[in-house]
Structure 1
Amino acid sequence: MLKKTKVLFAALAVSAPLMMGATSAWAGGLISIIVNDPANPYWLTEGNVAAAEAKKLGYDANVSAHKGDTNTESTLIDTAITNKSVAIILDPANADGSVGAVKKAVAANIPVILVNAEINQEGLAKAQLVSNNAQGAALGAQQWVQAIGEKGNYVELLGAPSDNNAATRSNGYESVLSQYPDLKKVGSQVANWNRTQGHDKMQSMLQATPDIQGVISGNDEMALGAIAALKEAGKLKNVKVGGFDGSPDAVAAIKAGELEYTVLQPVAIFSAKAVEQADNFIKKGSTGASSEKQLFDCFIITKDNVDKYTAPFVLSE
Structure 2
Amino acid sequence: MTFLKQLMLATATTALLAASPVIASAADLMAIITPSHDNPFFKSEAEGAKARAEALGYETIVLVHDDDANKQNELVDTAIARGAKAIVLDNAGSDASVAAVQKAKDAKIPSFLIDREINATGIAVSQIVSNNYQGATLGAEFFVEQMGEKGTYVELVGREADINAGIRSKGYHDVIDQYPELKMVSRQSANWSQTEAFAKMQSILQANPDIKGVISGNDTMAMGAWAALKAANRTDVILVGFDGSNDVRDSILEGGIKGTVLQPAYRQAEIAVEQADKFIKTGSTGEEEKQLMDCVLITADNAKNLETFALKE
TM-score, normalised by the number of residues in structure 2: 0.91
Name the Cα RMSD after superposition. Answer: 1.1
Q: Would you say the 8 A contact 2:47–2:266 is kept in 1?
A: no
2:312 pairs with one of 310, 313, 316? 316
Q: Would you say the 8 A contact 2:249–2:304 is kept in 1?
A: no
Whether 1:305 and 2:302 are equivalent positions in the alignment is: yes
In structure 1, what residue type is equivalent to 2:301?
D
- The equivalent of 2:221 in structure 1 is 222
- In the TM superposition, residue 254 of structure 1 has moved relative to its aligned partner by 0.5
Q: Would you say the 8 A contact 2:98–2:118 is kept in 1?
A: yes
- The equivalent of 1:149 in structure 2 is 148
Cα distance per residue 1:161-216 (max 9 Å; x no partner): 11000000000000110111100011011000010011111111111221210000
- In the TM superposition, residue 256 of structure 1 has moved relative to its aligned partner by 1.3
In structure 1, what residue type is equivalent to 2:132?
N
Q: Would you say the 8 A contact 1:125–1:292 is kept in 2?
A: yes
Q: Would you say the 8 A contact 1:138–1:172 is kept in 2?
A: yes
2:244 pairs with one of 221, 243, 246? 246
- The equivalent of 1:203 in structure 2 is 202
- In the TM superposition, residue 229 of structure 1 has moved relative to its aligned partner by 0.8
Cα distance per residue 1:139-160 (max 9 Å; x no partner): 0011111211111000000000
SS of the residue corresponding to residue 245 of structure 1 reads: coil
The structure carrying a bigger helix percent of its residues is 2
Distance in 1, matches of 2:148 and 2:228, equals 22
Cα distance per residue 1:114-162 (max 9 Å; x no partner): 0100111111000100000000000001111121111100000000011
Distance in 2, matches of 1:28 and 1:297, equals 35
Cα distance per residue 1:41-60 (max 9 Å; x no partner): 10000000001110111111
In structure 1, what residue type is equivalent to 2:31?
S
SS of the residue corresponding to residue 229 of structure 1 reads: helix
Distance in 2, matches of 1:88 and 1:218, equals 27
In structure 2, what residue type is equivalent to 1:292?
E
Distance in 2, matches of 1:206 and 1:307, equals 31
In structure 2, what residue type is equivalent to 1:306?
A
Distance in 2, matches of 1:73 and 1:108, equals 16
- In the TM superposition, residue 32 of structure 1 has moved relative to its aligned partner by 0.2
List aligned pairs for 1:161-172, cutoff 5 A: 161-172=160-171
In structure 1, what residue type is equivalent to 2:135?
G
Cα distance per residue 1:11-33 (max 9 Å; x no partner): xxxxxxxxxxxxxx962600000
Unpaired stretches in structure 2, ≥5 consecutive residues:
1-23
Q: For structure 1, which segment, 54-63 or 155-164, has the greater mean C-alpha deviation from structure 2 after superposition?
A: 54-63
Whether 1:128 and 2:124 are equivalent positions in the alignment is: no
- The equivalent of 1:19 in structure 2 is none
Distance in 1, matches of 2:158 and 2:304, equals 28
- In the TM superposition, residue 300 of structure 1 has moved relative to its aligned partner by 1.0
Larger radius of gyration: 2
Question: How many corresponding residue pairs?
Answer: 290
SS of the residue corresponding to residue 236 of structure 1 reads: coil
List aligned pairs for 1:255-274, cutoff 5 A: 255-274=253-272
SS of the residue corresponding to residue 50 of structure 1 reads: helix
Q: Would you say the 8 A contact 1:245–1:264 is kept in 2?
A: yes
SS of the residue corresponding to residue 244 of structure 1 reads: coil
Distance in 1, matches of 2:289 and 2:204, equals 40
Distance in 1, matches of 2:65 and 2:169, equals 25
Distance in 2, matches of 1:27 and 1:135, equals 40
Q: Would you say the 8 A contact 1:28–1:58 is kept in 2?
A: no
- The equivalent of 1:281 in structure 2 is 279
- The equivalent of 2:12 in structure 1 is none
